[in-house]
Amino acid sequence: MTPRAAPVPVLQAYAASNLNSYGRLINEVSPDYRSEYQRDRDRIVHSAAFRRLEYKTQVFVNHEGDMFRTRLTHSIEVAQIGRSIARILGINEDLTESIALAHDLGHTPFGHAGQDALNQCMQDYGGFEHNLQSLRVVDELEERYAEFSGLNLTFETREGILKHCSLKRAAELGDLGRRFIEGRQPGLEAQLVNLADGIAYNNHDVDDGLRSGLLTIEQLSEIHLFQEQYELVYASYPTLPQRRVIHEVVRRMINRQVTDLIETSSERIEALSPQDIDAVRTAGQPLIVFSDEMTIHNQQLKRFLRQHLYQHYKVRRMSTKAERILTSLFNAFIDDPRLLPPDYYHRLGRVEQPDTGKARIVADYIAGMTDRFAIGEYERMFDPGHLT
């Protein structure tokens, strides 16, 4: 059999490009030697929020072990999956990468437990949602450039970061929120990252769950995606060490889902035959999709992980500690804002609504913490043994 050559990237008419971009909030001269989306990617990679992802976890608290995935490794894995698919579909690889690298910038420490805790703390002040916080990071909180706050990213990258949004909040976001009100779709690159995120997240949580001993192969045998590939690997390599078996199975699970996504999406794009990116936005339904069969398999995997990993008693213990840490910090800073670092405390004088503005600044500070910094801050605030 003649091996199939890697596809040569060809940008289709319905892909995002410099020519059809909606631009930036603040106009800038186009960059030399880079596309607009390469500039977005480079700004994201050089941001402080991106660096902090190294010490923010997905499931396990950062100090639980160096081998578990962090938000940084997850973001890189999403970018790798996304770029591979984007090239085959003929959509913009650089934009896909930018969205993937930025999509978790607003995540709190301690994963979803941290987000739930901070959202509960912010209930009287508009709530907290990590997609909106990621947008806030790139629009306002990063302070690197002389001429603007934030990173001043393109509309298309910002659109991809904002995966979902309430209608009330959408109305406050102007052009960026209009698609939620009008029922329009984002560009294909944003649609792709949304699903690549799930592929990376779920399959690598299987890997980390097995590595930690919180999941077993016997439990995972209930899951079609896992069992299908496990039987194939075991039949081909019956003496392979267990650790390598797991790596091989997870690799094949990802490939199975990526292949399904490429083939199903290609069929849907061909059926609609969009002539430009506007036709994608008004399609009425996503064009980057799994088959019905793969959607069912993915839902089964998500339910399994929720029950057996995310609700495992050891993970729940970590989550309970995380919630206590973030809630205690939030309440302390709300009660006495002078406990905040000076650069955050000084922002209080610029807020229009004192209570809501103060709470949002406290949430910005806490959401920007890494796992280990949040633990250290808690100890500095509440442990009598820490006097500094």
What is the structure's pLDDT at 107? 94
What is the structure's pLDDT at 140? 95
Options 3.40.50.300, 1.10.10.60, 1.10.3210.10, 3.30.420.130; CATH for 36-315 is 1.10.3210.10
Residues in the chain predicted with pLDDT less than 50, given as ranges, are: 8, 62-67
Q: What is the pLDDT of residues 330-382, one digit of tens each?
A: 999 999 999 999 999 999 988 778 889 999 999 999 999 999 999 999 999 99
b/e code 9-45 from CB counts within 10 Å (16+ = b): eeeeebbbbeeebeebbeeeeeeeeebbbbbbbebbe
What is the structure's pLDDT at 12? 95
At 56, is the secondary structure helix, strand, or coil?
coil
Look up the pTM and report it: 0.93
b/e code 65-87 from CB counts within 10 Å (16+ = b): eeebbbbbebbbbbbebbbbbbb
Can you read off the two tokens belonging to residue 315?
């993970």
Instruction: Give the start-to-end residue ranges of the domains of the chain.
Output: 36-315, 316-382
327, with CB counted inside 10 A (0-12, 13-18, 19+), is middle
What is the structure's pLDDT at 279? 96
In Å, how far are 113, 203, 207, 313 from 62, measured between CA atoms?
Answer: 13, 19, 16, 18
